[in-house]
Copies of this chain bind each other. A is one copy, B any other.
């Protein structure tokens, strides 16, 4: 976890105290059910919850000190709780194994993390939608291969991002369901020493599903799917970040990250306004993506379980969720305050001497009966002249002067092919598909 790329709410989820609180809840809920089932005295759970009701502070250093001796984190925690609660605490953890606590706790942490990320996505979607409608009909050049192609609107760019992050949200909801399961099944998962109803009870109390079959651990294909999904979301963040970086290039300058007063772009070059936030997001995306692989390698545990997954999860559990949360927040801010320059967009759009309209002429020629191959050739030979003139020549004028073209199309027909609005007739259709309105 890199503090500068972390926000407090997500970070708090991964702090020792939060973990110990979840552990307590798991143990107390389990003890409660064990009491109901007559396995332990009902007073045991009562003692635990009574203590809990006093809102006790969790003494993390004390627990760590015990762990330094026992070399076992859950035993250390249970020992500390027993010191606080007293004799009744010995009934805790009856028939359970450490993994019951650890894996169910991780499920709680990851599903809470997913909730925060879903909330992040909602905020991002809201901002993107606002900018999409704001610029629904702001013309800008569409680019394929970095080369001017045909006109689009800035709103359409935003609509694509909205559709993409809507998919990300749906994926994240699915990924959350993958990891939100509870396992209280005892050693090697046979329930030999613990009634499955304890698991059902704890699952219900914590808002988790029951893990159908665990083997002391919750199977790690679930977590692999979770982290792979975060990697895909990070890649979508990268896409939008790269778009902004391109738009802010000096020669393009159709949009800019908001530049706050007092900010210094460069210690050496005072005129610079750099897209540092989106460059940063590009890097963060690389990190979140990279965590998918160790998560996948974690799946093939040996037999009923080994513990090789654990160290990996100590890194990627916090790092992937905290980084993605930060990145979504940062991207939301970037889009929210993005400086958009419609005049510059129009200026760029115009700079190619009308080349962006070439396809419409091509179609008109074929519709006028010219073969596809000839049409392509007529348009291309004129287009190439315009291209080489660096936008100084006008495609419209050249076409009118080309005898082959003129034989098929009148000047008026050619004029009509250079009308910008023509390209935006389906913007409503697309918006309806994306925003459902």
Contact = CB atoms under 8 A, between A and B. Distances in A.
Given A274-B307, A386-B271, A151 B250 contact: no
A358 B212 contact: no
A305 interface: yes
A115 interface: no
A235 B224 contact: yes
Nearest to A271: B383
A187 interface: yes
Contacts of A292: 228, 231, 292-293, 296
Contact of A300 (B171, B192, B235, B352): B235
Give the 4 A-B CB pairs with smallest separation, nearest first.
A142-B188, A271-B383, A283-B311, A145-B274
Contact of A231 (B279, B296, B307, B312): B296
A34 B73 CA distance: 56
A276 interface: yes
Nearest to A311: B283
Given A238-B299, A314-B2, A359-B187, A305 B144 contact: yes
Contacts of A265: 147
Given A167-B221, A225-B232, A309-B283, A250 B433 contact: no
A338 interface: no
A116 interface: no
A127 interface: no
Interface stretch (A49-57, A105-113, A152-160, A403-411): A152-160
A9 interface: no
Given A299-B235, A314-B2, A98 B268 contact: yes
A257 to B, nearest CB: 10
A289 B290 CA distance: 10
Interface in A77-125: 78-79, 82, 90-91, 93-98
A89 to B, nearest CB: 9
Copies of the chain in the assembly: 4
Given A160-B213, A239-B299, 20 more contacts: A1-B1, A5-B314, A95-B363, A142-B187, A142-B303, A144-B272, A144-B305, A145-B245, A145-B307, A149-B188, A164-B219, A167-B225, A187-B269, A192-B423, A219-B239, A228-B228, A241-B300, A251-B251, A271-B384, A289-B294
Contact of A287 (B148, B294, B426): B294
A172 B174 CA distance: 13
A248 interface: yes
Prevailing SS type, chain A contact patch: helix
A255 B380 CA distance: 21
Interface residues on A, range: 35 or more
Contact of A348 (B219, B251, B260, B427): B251
Contacts of A352: 250, 271
Contacts of A304: 142-144, 149, 152
Given A144-B305, A312-B287, A219 B160 contact: yes
B279 A286 contact: no
Contact of A190 (B145, B249, B300, B423): B423
A160 to B, nearest CB: 5
Given A190-B142, A228-B228, A271-B355, A94 B363 contact: yes
Contacts of A186: 268
Given A293-B293, A430-B212, A271 B235 contact: no
Given A362-B270, A434-B213, A282 B308 contact: yes
Nearest to A69: B262
A274 B143 CA distance: 10
Contacts of A312: 283, 286-287
